[in-house]
Amino acid sequence: MTLRQAFRRAFLLIALALFLIAAGHAATTALFVLRAQPTSGIVVGYRVVEGASPPFVADDGRLYYAVVEFEDAHGVSQRVTSPRGWRSRPVAAGSEIEVLWIPGRGTSARIDSTMDLWGAALIFGGLGLLFLLIAVAAPAGFRRSRSHNQR
C-alpha cells in the first residue's frame, strides 16, 4: 500500500465515522421533533461561562447560554439551557422564544432553533464532507507534486 492509498483510506474512514455520528444526531433530533410539542418560553437569564473562547480569539472569553423557563401541560415551571453559547446576549432577558418538549419528560426540552436542534448533525456532517473532499482531492494533488518534483 502506498502512502497515497493509506492517506486516502484514513481520511475516508474518518469521514465515514463523522457521517455516522451526524446521522445518529440527525436521527435522534428527528425523533425528538416528531414527538415534541411546541410551547412558548421566557428567557429568564443567561448562564455565563468564563474562559470559553478558543485560543487566539481576541475577546473576554465569555460565552452566554440562554436559560428559558416554560410551563408544562400541568402548569409546572420547567427550565432549559441552550446547548449553544454566544459571545453576546442575542435575546434580551424577558423575551419570548419557542421551546419543544415531550410531555411527561420535562428534562427533554430544547430551544426551537436550527442550531440548537440540528447544530451537532450539521457540524459533524460538514466535517465528514470536508474529510471526504480531502480523501478524494489530496491523492490527485500528490500525483501532481510527484510529477512536478521529477522534472
**pLDDT surpassing 60 at residue 114:** yes
Task: From residue 4, give the alpha-carbon distance in Å to each of 13, 138, 143, 145.
Answer: 14, 8, 9, 12
**Tens-place pLDDT, residues 25-82:** 999 999 999 999 999 999 999 998 887 666 656 667 788 889 999 988 788 888 888 8
Name 101's Cβ contacts closer than 8 Å, sequence gap at least 6. Answer: 36, 37, 39, 70, 72, 78, 80, 108, 109, 110
> How many angstroms separate the CA atoms of 88 and 63, rounded?
7
pLDDT at 108 (0 to 100): 80
What's the average model confidence in pLDDT over 115-127? Answer: 94
Least confident of 43-57, 99-113, 135-149: 135-149
pTM: 0.76
